[in-house]
Amino acid sequence: MNVGVFSLMQWPHDRSAARVYGDEITQAVEAERLGYDRAWFAEHHFSRYGIDPAIHLTVANVAARTSRIRLGTAVTVLPFLPPIRAAEELATLDILSGGRIDWGVGRGYQRHEFDAFEVDITESRSRFEEALDIIFRAWQDGPFEHHGRHWSFDAVDVLPKPIQQPRIPTYIAAISPASCRWAATNGLPLLADQFSPFERLADGRKIYEEAFRRAGHARPLPEAVALRQVFVGRTREEAREIAIPGLLWYYRMLAKVGSPARHGEELPETYEAYKVFTMVSGMAEGTEDDFVDFLLDEVAVAGDASEVTDRLTALHDVGYPSVICWMNFGGLHHDDTLASMRRFIDDVAPELPR
């Protein structure tokens, strides 16, 4: 399995924003030393849920401190950034990193972010698809022009071009069956979310495979990457004792800021699949013990090395050969995160499918 770490820059009230950045960048650099394959970074805006609004800058910083580990975005939110600007930034990142970028892209889902940027959330899918087409064309040789629904410009040669050709490896964040089918039809790898239960991830991979074959692709299935909150303890009890406060902080914050709908409104069109988010985040305000049991059984992975190995192997067996291990969720302390990262490499990674 291909294994990465993850940074959302979550900001509890017991530390400074500078401390959050310092700790999580240190963890990404340590991930290279320990032998992880990738470090991924997430974009969010306007809340303590995640305070890394400029992930391309953060990735450039980490690229300067590392030499081997691949660096990913999970994700760049395309509706918030002019596509030719995104094409320039990612190509520059690819050059600065020596061709180590994996580009995860998504259309976003947090309504308060769309409102602040004055972007209509009901246009997120059409903006996403148009922007992605523009960026892929921008990375090809020579000038091109575009006259579409959301963006229009005359011939321009977007420079520089990325090192990786024909384009930077691109991963599509997908929760809904429609998004899984779109990614498959276009032959692009799948990037699965952190809050879908295991069976939903398995179903999403089946939907993807069926759509990929129906689209006539003869080559092997593209890579699929699953993001999971992971903590490896010396014992199962220790892992859960440390992980549970972070999980509850995360889901309570998600319940406050994460919905695609404004308070009291129905989910916007094309966001129906986020009912799973509504269910999970809403449970964080209900019976705590039941909610925690659900999380630890179906969503997050917290246990000793044996349990974590078994859970991640199960993901591999349903079609996810790559996993992003989010080990600092909910503002878990830096030392605890590093300890989990090291136990993973020592005791879990050698037992995973190869």
Question: Does the pLDDT of residue 284 top 80, yes or no?
Answer: no
4-18 per-position pLDDT tens digit: 999 999 999 999 999
Q: What's the pLDDT at 168?
A: 98
Q: How far is CA 226 from the centre of its chain?
A: 8
Number of domains in the chain: 1
322-333 per-position pLDDT tens digit: 999 999 999 999
Residues 220, 197: Cα–Cα separation, whole Å: 26
**Would residue 218 be called left, alpha or beta, if left means φ above 0 and alpha means ψ between -120 and 50 degrees?**
alpha
Residues 288, 284: Cα–Cα separation, whole Å: 7
148-179 per-position pLDDT tens digit: 999 999 999 999 999 999 999 999 999 889 99
175-192 per-position pLDDT tens digit: 889 999 999 999 999 999
Residue span of the structural domain in which 250 resides: 2-351
Question: Does the pLDDT of residue 318 top 90, yes or no?
Answer: yes
Which pairs with CB-CB distance under 8 Å and at least 24 residues apart come from 258-267? 258/49, 258/109, 258/110, 259/110, 259/111, 260/109, 260/110, 260/111, 260/121, 261/111, 262/111, 262/115
Q: Quickly tell me which residue has 């294994």 as its tokens.
A: 3
CA-nearest of 197, 296, 306 to 246 is 296
The domain that holds 174 is classified in CATH as 3.20.20.30
Q: Report the percent of the chain where pLDDT is more than 90.
A: 90
Helical axes 177-185 vs 198-214, angle rounded to 10°: 40
Q: What's the pLDDT at 11?
A: 98
Q: What's the pLDDT at 303?
A: 98
> Does 160 sit behind a cis peptide bond, omega within 30 degrees of 0 on the bond before it?
yes
Question: Does the pLDDT of residue 283 top 70, yes or no?
Answer: no
Q: What's the pLDDT at 288?
A: 82
Q: What's the pLDDT at 278?
A: 61
Q: Which residue has the higher pLDDT, 291 or 57?
A: 57
Q: Which two tokens stand for residue 7?
A: 């940074």
Confidence of residue 274 (pLDDT cuts 50, 70, 90): confident
User: Comparing 107-111, 218-222, 253-257, 276-280, which segment has the lowest mean pLDDT?
Assistant: 276-280
Confidence of residue 307 (pLDDT cuts 50, 70, 90): very high
Q: What is the mean pLDDT of residues 248-271?
A: 90
330-353 per-position pLDDT tens digit: 999 999 999 999 999 999 999 999
